[in-house]
A and B are shown apart, each in its own frame.
Chain A
Amino acid sequence: MSVKEIRVPGDEQQFLQLKSGDRVLITGTLYTARDAAHKRMIETLEAGGELPISLDGQVIYYVGPTPAKPGRVIGSAGPTTSGRMDKYTPRLLELGLKGMIGKGRRNQDVRDAIVKHKAVYFAAVGGAAALIARSIKSSEVIAYEDLGTEAIHRLQVEKFPAIVVNDAYGGDLYEQGERQYRIDES
C-alpha cells in the first residue's frame, strides 16, 4: 500500500491531496492538546484573549503522554479519543487549524467544519503508544504547564504514522471501512 509523506505545518494544497484511507507519514511540528487545554483555549477566546500558539496551517495531536523515563524525549504517546474535543474543534478550524490527530469518530459539526475549512482528521493507532513515541524527536511544554500531561507541548516528529479518516471532501474511512467489510445476515 502506498504511503504519502507530508510536512507540517503546511499549506492548504498539501491537505487537499489527502483522501480518507491514505496512509501518511508526518514530519515537522505538532502541538499537543486534549480536554483541559482545549477547554482553556476556548475560554480564552471567549474572553477576548489570544491563544498561546498560532494555529495557522498547524496540526494538533490529541495526546497525554506518560512521563518520560530518564534520558528519553517523551514517554509513550498514543492518541486519545477525539470525540471529547468535538465541542471545541470547529472554532479552532475557523482559526486556521488544518489537521487533528486522534482516534475515534467525530461528530457531524466537526465533519462539516473539516470540509468547510479544507482540513483533515487523521487517526494514529490507538494503543500503539510505544511505537509512535519513536517518531517523536523532541518535546517541550509551551503553554498551560500547570495542566501536567495535558499541557500544550510542541513536538518535533519524523515520519509519524497516521491514517486519513476524514478528508476535505467529506470522505470518512470509518464509514467506508465498515460498509466494505460488513457481512449482512439475511
Chain B
Amino acid sequence: MREVSYQQIVSAVKDMCIQANYNLGDDTLKAFREALKQEESETGKDVLNQLIENAQIASSEQVPMCQDTGMAVFIVELGQDCHITGGSLYDAINQGIREGYGDGYLRQSVVKDPLDRKNTGDNTPGVVHIELVEGDRCTIHMAAKGFGSENMSRLQMLKPADGLEGVKQFILETVKLAGPNACPPMVVGVGIGGTFEKAAYLAKKSLFREVGERNPRPDLAELEQDLIEQINKLGIGPQGMGGRTTALDVHIETFATHIAGLPVAVNINCHATRHKTAVL
C-alpha cells in the first residue's frame, strides 16, 4: 500500500492556504477580463478594473487579496489504497492551516464556539470532507471561504411539483437577496437533490470547479448557461452598484433524491474564488 506522511500533508495544506490567498487563479482573472468587455456600467467597469489591479498587487507583493482570508474548507479524495502514516489526517490538515495562516500573515477568523465566540487564534479547525475513492493517491482540494458570501447562501426543500421552474426561481431569488452583500460578481454554486445535507455539500463542492468549467452533463451545462444569462439580467452588477456582471459563473451538481423531495442549496462565492489542489 502506498504511503503518504503526516508531514507531507502539513506542507501541502500550508502551501495551499497561502497560495490561495495571495494568487487569484487565472480562471477568475480571465472571467474578470471577459466581464469587462461586456460591462456597460461605468461604475461596474471601475470596480472590475480595481479587482484586476488588486489581484496583481496581491500576487506581486505576496499579500492576501482580501482581508477575509476565510475559513479553510477541504475536500479530500482519499484513495482506498493510500495509507497515511505518522499521525491523523485531520490533525495534519489543522497543523497545515495553523502554519499557513500564521506564516502567511493571514487573518485568524475562526471562533471556537459559535455561541461564546472566542477566537481560536490560529484559524483552526478547518472544515474537512473526506471522500473515499479508488486508487492510491491522496488528493486535497482547499478553498478559503469568505463569509460575506457564505452568509448569503440558502437551502430549501422544494416540492417535486415545483420542478425546474421552482429550482430556477429559488436560485434567482437567492442571488437577488444576496445582492451587494455577497461581493458580486459572484460564483453561484448549486446543489440539487440528495438529502438536506447532501444538497448543501454538492453546492459547496461545485464551487471547487474552475470558473468557466461546465457540468459534463449537457442538459445541466445548458441550465448553467441559462442561469448565468438570467442572473446577469437582474442588474445587480459588480459590487451591487448596477451593471451587467452579477455572476461570473453558475455551477450545478446533482444527486439522486427521494420520491417526495426536491432539495436545492445555493452556496454563493464572492469574486475571490480561492481554491487550490494538491495531489499526494
Contact = CB atoms under 8 A, between A and B. Distances in A.
B50 A76 contact: no
Contact of B67 (A66, A69, A105): A66
B239 A63 contact: no
Contacts of A132: 54
Interface residues of chain B: helix, strand, loop or mixed (majority): loop
Contact of A181 (B58, B64, B230, B242): B242
A177 B64 contact: no
A21 B42 CA distance: 11
Interface in A124-171: 125-134, 148-149, 161, 163, 165
B220 interface: no
Given A126-B270, A163-B241, A131 B54 contact: yes
A185 interface: yes
B46 A127 contact: no
Interface stretch (B5-13, B135-143, B176-184, B188-196): B176-184
B89 interface: no
A123 B239 contact: yes
Interface in B224-242: 230, 233-237, 239-242
Interface in A62-90: 63-69, 75-78, 80-81, 83
A180 B151 contact: no
B153 interface: no
Nearest to A147: B119
B67 A103 contact: no
B235 A127 contact: no
Contact of B105 (A1, A66, A83, A134): A66
A149 B121 CA distance: 11
A75 B50 CA distance: 18
Nearest to A184: B233
B275 to A, nearest CB: 15
B50 A131 contact: yes
B242 A104 contact: no
B46 A23 contact: yes
Interface in A91-105: 103-105
Interface in B86-131: 105-109, 119
B243 A177 contact: yes
Nearest to B68: A80
A80 B148 contact: yes
Given A66-B105, A130-B65, A177-B43, A104 B54 contact: no
A178 interface: yes
On chain A, which size bracket covers the interface?
Answer: 35 or more
Contacts of A130: 54, 57-58, 61, 63-65
B107 A182 contact: no
A173 to B, nearest CB: 6
Contacts of A181: 40-41, 235-237, 242-244
B271 interface: yes
A66 B144 CA distance: 14
Contact of A177 (B58, B240, B272): B240
B240 A178 contact: yes
A69 B63 contact: yes
A183 interface: yes
A66 B180 CA distance: 22
Given A183-B233, A185-B233, A81 B151 contact: yes
A77 B58 CA distance: 12
Given A76-B66, A148-B119, A185-B233, 13 more contacts: A65-B107, A76-B65, A104-B240, A125-B47, A125-B51, A127-B66, A130-B54, A130-B64, A165-B241, A174-B179, A174-B242, A178-B234, A178-B236
10 smallest A-B Cβ distances: which pairs?
A177-B242, A182-B235, A181-B235, A104-B181, A126-B183, A183-B233, A131-B54, A128-B54, A130-B58, A130-B57
9 contacts: A66-B107, A76-B67, A105-B181, A131-B50, A173-B241, A174-B179, A174-B241, A177-B236, A178-B235
